[in-house]
Chain A
């Protein structure tokens, strides 16, 4: 039986990974829920968020609050990029075959990741932790970096904010309505085109924010996009495509399976994650908390 403090540290590290994945996967799930498209480029938005955060910190220089400003700036830039892509290109593929939409987002991922390589090269970029969160805490004999703790708390905070917007505001009602029936919503006088652009921007914002916030913890390198997109797919599939709480649940399960899988079966933890994904798809294709598509 492993040491309880070790188990605690392990589950917290799993939880940290889960909260990052939740940030990214919630954007993916949002786009799927409303636009019914799996966005392969979402992982690339995440990578761009990380690179942009790095670049903005270089430009802004050190200083209190500069990290947060850079992270926000990166996320907003990614959101604008996402909106532009939706407006100019993606829009033309609505109503076409799913395969075309899927491959378009894949093409986008290929292009954007190479553009990132052109701009920032193949050397890894790293960002130091924001001042005030560089220390660590001791819990039950385990040492937890302050920044990790912050992320673990931030995840649920963003989840709650998201839930509030979707359930309690007018825009959120429109988004939910668009997910159910686009045409009727348009007939009721809502500008559905603009709504789609906003949804795409919001989702890109979440992806970019995830990337920006992870930059102090992991090195930013080319290829981080293809890795994370598959992880995000696993999360949304387990939780349920288009389901918000499902994504949170999926992320937590993913993080725990991965961190405890490494503990008990060090070599087959990746296998366990994909096996779980396949099992969920076989038993409940719409995910643990999702609803079947019409």
Chain B
């Protein structure tokens, strides 16, 4: 019953109204959540669905962010070209790196993804001519919204927003489309094979699945979607910086995924929402955000290994059974 409600669609429609109902700050936080939701969901394709724990997922986020940033700021490319380029370039990187990573198992896989991510970070950090080095690249331009202003002025609700709000709408639509695509991917026969690899790679091999090839495909897809998230984030953040690819970012997104729940499709998005809202609340009181994050993580690991989605699902199941028996 609960599962039949189109939750994704409802949330999407509700999110459309954020700029109209809330303040500029609310729109900012909502934009942040939306982009991180895509980033975390792309990671979940690897961790949750395929069972590959990547410790370097920020690399592809960073590649995407730099690709869009460089194309738009230095080469003046339009957003419509720069954004898909972020996904393509990140996917290409993931293809090269993943080719080597999927040959390794477990802890070695995690270490190699970390090594590649650190290589990306080192390049972003030191290649001053192209990436701006340590200083990063500030002032990435927004996409051109002049045409919406011209055409939308006559239609109520379509015109008269701030540039950052137009960008929020664009982000929301693009992330929703990406999430829809990811949802289709995990529900497809291809996605089912990924799940069977997670459950038992050896048996998957027995029934004729080329495990490495499927793992590589999942790695490339996850990288490409992370790149798309990064492309959106660079513009949203008004700048691209090397720490986008640093290993602490990889662990941050991993925590989000785990907090929301790796077992469900929307879990990572919930994780992104909760963690960002929590962060916004905490940061206004204290600078000790890592302390809070660490404590949340410890409670989660010992108390709710299924994450928020897992805990809520179990609770809903129990309530539902009680209702039925009553």
Contact = CB atoms under 8 A, between A and B. Distances in A.
Q: Is the interface of A mostly helix, strand, loop or mixed?
A: helix
A267 interface: yes
Nearest to A286: B108
Nearest to A267: B126
Interface in B102-124: 103-104, 106-108, 110-112, 114-116, 118-119, 122-123
A275 interface: yes
Contacts, number: 112
B228 interface: no
A120 interface: no
Interface residues of B, number: 40
A241 B298 contact: no
Contact of A237 (B115, B255, B258, B301): B115
Nearest to A271: B122
Given A233-B114, A274-B118, A108 B106 contact: no
Contacts of B297: 103-104, 106-107, 110
A270 B116 contact: no
Contacts of B302: 89, 92
A98 B53 contact: yes
Contact of B291 (A100, A110, A270): A110
Given A38-B107, A271-B123, A118 B298 contact: no
A103 B108 contact: no
Given A100-B305, A226-B248, A267-B126, A282 B100 contact: yes
A277 B100 CA distance: 13
A180 interface: no
Contacts of A277: 111, 115, 118
B112 A282 contact: yes
Given A107-B301, A108-B294, A118 B119 contact: no
A157 interface: no
A274 B294 contact: no
B247 interface: yes
B25 interface: no
Contacts of B47: 99
Given A92-B302, A103-B297, A281 B290 contact: no
Interface in A17-73: 36, 38
Interface in A265-286: 267-268, 270-271, 274-275, 277-278, 281-282, 285-286
B295 interface: yes
Contact of B290 (A89, A93, A111, A230): A111
A270 to B, nearest CB: 4
A278 B104 CA distance: 12
B251 interface: yes
Given A230-B247, A271-B123, A241 B107 contact: yes
Select the residue from B123, B293, B294 with max chain A CB neighbours within 10 A. B294
B288 interface: yes
B255 to A, nearest CB: 7
Given A226-B247, A237-B111, A285-B108, 19 more contacts: A98-B106, A98-B107, A103-B258, A103-B297, A107-B293, A107-B294, A107-B297, A110-B290, A110-B291, A110-B297, A114-B288, A114-B294, A115-B291, A226-B248, A267-B128, A271-B119, A278-B116, A281-B104, A285-B112
Interface of B: 47, 53, 55, 100, 103-104, 106-108, 110-112, 114-116, 118-119, 122-123, 125-128, 247-248, 251, 254-255, 258, 288, 290-291, 293-295, 297-298, 301-302, 305
Interface of A: 36, 38, 89, 92-93, 96, 98-100, 102-104, 106-111, 113-115, 117-118, 226, 230, 233-234, 237, 241, 267-268, 270-271, 274-275, 277-278, 281-282, 285-286
